[in-house]
Amino acid sequence: MPESINKLILEVFSESIVQLQGANGHAHVHHGESLERHDTQNGREHEADLHAELPESADLLYAYIEAELDELNAALMFPEVHRDLAHSSALQEAYRELSELLTMEREDRLIEPPITPSFDFSYLQQQAAPSALLENSWNLDRVGRLVIEFTTELLQSIRPLDLQTSLVKSNQGSNANNMYHYILKDQVDNLNVEIGVKPDQDNPQQCHVAAWVGIPSREGWPNWKNSRVEMKMEQEVLQSQLTDAFGRVLFDPVELANLPRLTFEVTPVTLNQ
């Protein structure tokens, strides 16, 4: 998940970018040239452009735009993004495209791609948690919700990291900005979950927590929205969010010291159907 926000846009939103460019009259296909080849070429050229000098705050651009769309004070919540938007043309371009795409997603105007996007994470050097710790970290409650409990031992077993998820990203070539990456895959019927944690750049006592909920039977984007993820501490709900069309949520920063006391309760959208 080390690339920056450009990787997020190009991998996750590649089909939508083509749609958006076409809608705005920016895409041109020469006579006799296949649309697929032209789109691929445009995507690669666009990726090269977006590689130019993206600041580290680009990692939080998605959350910044979501806050704006929720009519929250995004500048106060993510001051580093607000600051860099005034100076970085690459970040401004990413902001414009991602903002328009997220607005389209909220208004249900995105067109489903002809094929389900697939991602190759084979280059990631993942450190699997010891099987006993992982098996004891989760359970299903009586109504079928997935409950994941963080403990000090579990967190120690999934640190350090040299990887990234589709949510918690770093544009640095090291593991300095990644702290924990919890992966629960092929353990629960029709449900895969990842939780990523990285430190807050402005407050070393806090961290950002992101989650991804995948439901194989729903065949990926844009069908993974509306699963609920609750962050709890001692049965108290600290934060509760619904996943977007890509199965993702990004929580407000939490205290690092509280990580071993957190519980995540996942209610997949399929549970209510």
Q: Is the pLDDT of residue 141 over 50?
A: yes
Q: Is the pLDDT of residue 211 over 60?
A: yes
What pLDDT score was predicted for residue 136?
83
Greater confidence (135 vs 214) lies with 214
Q: What mean pLDDT is predicted for residues 56-60? A: 86
Greater confidence (35 vs 247) lies with 247
What pLDDT score was predicted for residue 249?
92
Among the residue ranges 137-141, 164-168, 194-198, 244-248, the one predicted with the least confidence is 164-168
> Of 137, 47, 65, 49, whose CA–CA distance to 102 is shortest?
65
Q: Is the pLDDT of residue 54 over 70?
A: yes
Residues 95-125 have pLDDT tens digits of: 999 999 889 888 888 776 566 556 565 555 4
What pLDDT score was predicted for residue 209?
92
Q: Domain locations in the chain?
A: 5-106, 131-272
CA–CA distances in Å: residue 18 to residues 26, 34, 100, 257: 9, 14, 13, 43
Q: Is the pLDDT of residue 25 over 80?
A: no
Residues 146-188 have pLDDT tens digits of: 999 999 988 888 875 443 343 444 333 333 456 888 999 888 9
Write out the two tokens for 64: 């910044």
> Of 67, 62, 70, whose CA–CA distance to 101 is shortest?
62
